[in-house]
Structure 1
Amino acid sequence: MLWIVAGASLFVVAFDALGSLAARRLGFPYAVLTVVSLLVYGTTGALAADQSGVTMGTLAAGIVGLVDSTLGWAVSRKLGAGRLPNEAPRPGVSAGTVLLVSLLAAAIGLVGGSVVTAG
């Protein structure tokens, strides 16, 4: 399961970086790429659940969501995606967002893991 989490985490960080560059260069809203992250969370949950059970699939997807909403978004913001001009960081809002994304990722991983193990 560790390889699944590591691979999915590397994928989302690389995707965040490439997506950020593409959004800036092509002029589309970075937020439209969210659907890819959601698919990664579900796939992570499904792959990990197939190997280690639904609980571990849920945990794996939650970890990937945590990596995405911290490291991935930090890379994206550094490259310019989603940043407002003269925007000051607000740690309380950021921590709440990280928690929400991590829980959402875990929930999507639970669904993905449940689908795989139901068959």
Structure 2
Amino acid sequence: MEQVVLRVLRAEVRRRKCPGCGNSLRRADIEASFRGDSSIQLHFRCRFCSFEGGGEFELTPEMCREAAQIATAEGEEPIIPEQAVKFALDPITADDLITVHEILSGWRGDFSSLLAPASA
């Protein structure tokens, strides 16, 4: 699955144009590797002007979903990292907003205490 995620990222770079010369990055030299559970180190070099770019990127739920679809199509077992699963929540409803509004309307603390973990 990790290799599929890296292939998706490389394909995305190849769809872009070089910021240095404006040519397609379709033939660029691209290196990508995982750094930890949820970040990817990416480096590319344009073959036309030798512009180099890249950086470290967080693995997004969209990237995981696209990789899972590709992995499934290729017969692989789609293993979605736990980090990406955290974001697969139900949409926020009107009732959720009303509940938050009711809680905040009676709040008598500062912002940091609002975000502090609840004590047991």
The alignment's TM-score, normalised by the length of structure 1, stands at 0.26
- Structure 1 or 2, whichever has the larger Rg, is 2
The alignment's TM-score, normalised by the length of structure 2, stands at 0.26
Q: More strand by proportion, 1 or 2?
A: 2
Higher RCO structure, 1 or 2 (CA under 8 Å, sep 6+): 1
